[in-house]
Amino acid sequence: MNPKNDRTAIMVTEDDLPEEIYFDYAKAKPNRFAEALKDQQILVALDPDVAAVFGSAESVNRVLRALIQTMPSKMPEVASLP
């Protein structure tokens, strides 16, 4: 009998799950897709009160795009944060 074809269902209950799972970062590998996405998006942290208004990243982007439409085309340069 081929062991690869001998599939048995494993039932997992809540009692079988550990209370905490520890991740061994020493075995972590770099994200192979990170370089391709590096210039395409940024991560922005919203304050909790602002985040509570939006249900998803798409809704935040939709509102920001609408706001951009109302802005003058020439905006003064904003100083970059260090």
Q: Which of 63, 42, 68 is nearest to 53 (CA)?
A: 63
Is it the case that residue 60 has pLDDT exceeding 50? yes
**Which of helix, strand or coil describes residue 26?**
helix
Q: Mind listing the pLDDT tens digit for each residue in 1-31?
A: 455 555 566 666 666 767 788 888 898 888 8
Looking at residue 34, what is its pLDDT?
80
Hey, what are 25's tokens? 């970062």
How far is it, in rounded angstroms, from Cα 71 to Cα 65?
A: 10
Looking at residue 47, what is its pLDDT?
92
Is it the case that residue 63 has pLDDT exceeding 90? yes
| DSSP annotation of 77 | P
Is it the case that residue 81 has pLDDT exceeding 90? no
Looking at residue 21, what is its pLDDT?
80
Owner of token pair 């609408």: 66
